[in-house]
Amino acid sequence: MGSGDTLKIVVFRGSPRREGNTDILLGEALKAETGGNELIQFTLNDMNIRPCQNCGGCDETGSCVLADDMDDIYSAIRQADRIIVASPIFFFGLSAQTKIVIDRCQSFWCEKYLLKKTIPSGPHGRKGLLILVGGMKKDTGIQCAGATATAFFRTISVPEHETLGYLSIDRKGAIRNHSSALKDAYEAGVRLFTHNN
Ligand SMILES: Cc1cc2nc3c(=O)[nH]c(=O)nc-3n(C[C@H](O)[C@H](O)[C@H](O)COP(=O)(O)O)c2cc1C
């Protein structure tokens, strides 16, 4: 975790569409990071991450037995003061790229709920931000993806997070025409990166 007056910020870019709506909102939120913090970004679509095999290999140790690009993510999650998950809604849920990472965090679930060990927080606590964009009017996707992301944040010992969810945004870049979304994202970033030191 960051020490003193710096934050370690970990970002999960969950859309396969580069510079699409999710990326645009994420970019606005990150504009609120004015330097001095450590930013680690994972573009999940470019990473080599296998799905959880439910092999039970983490049950007694809290450590996943698979070896792939999740190794870097496990380490970043442990050290994070702030975590941003940004995903489009696909079939009423998170993108597969995002969900695969969350499922692989079953090892943190074992660590927390079976081994009774939470990830310790630094002086600024652990906080999250969830950014969701869907093309449909129906909010089922926000509800379902939101429930999954909440389970994820709690499992990795992030006790509080804010959610920004936008619907009826489909065409690449359409979020730029939304009346408040870019400003909302920036302001959520300001809240996320504000700390007392
Ligand atoms: C495979 C796939 C499934 C989708 N399913 C949904 C859905 O269930 N609900 C919804 O609101 N939008 C759905 N969409 C629309 C995307 O969420 C929408 O285009 C979004 O703006 C994409 O964000 P991006 O530009 O960041 O990738 C789907 C799109 C794709 C490609």
At 103, list the tokens. 């499922």
At 181, list the tokens. 């979304």
Which of 89, 91, 140 for a ligand 1 pocket mutation test, highest count of atoms within 8 Å of Cβ? 89
How many angstroms separate the first and last alpha carbons of the chain?
Answer: 15
Nearest Cα to Cα of residue 40 among 79, 14, 4, 5: 79
At 151, list the tokens. 């389970």
As a whole number of angstroms, the distance between CA 83 and CA 87 comes to 13
Cα(89) to centroid(ligand 1), Å: 5
Q: Which atom of ligand 1 is nearest to the CA of 20?
A: 25
pLDDT for 116-140, tens place per residue? Answer: 999 999 999 999 999 999 999 999 9
Which residues' Cβ are closer than 6 Å to ligand 1? 15, 17, 20-23, 88-92, 133-136, 141, 167, 169-170, 172
The residue written with tokens 């007056």 in the block is: 5
Amino acid 24 reads: I
Tell the residue nearest (CA) to atom 21 of ligand 1.
170
Q: Which atom of ligand 1 is nearest to the CA of 17?
A: 27
* Residues 48, 68 contacting (CB under 8 angstroms): yes
What is the value of pTM for the model shown? 0.97
* Residues 24, 17 contacting (CB under 8 angstroms): no
pLDDT for 4-55, tens place per residue? Answer: 689 999 999 999 999 999 999 999 999 999 888 999 999 999 999 999 999 9
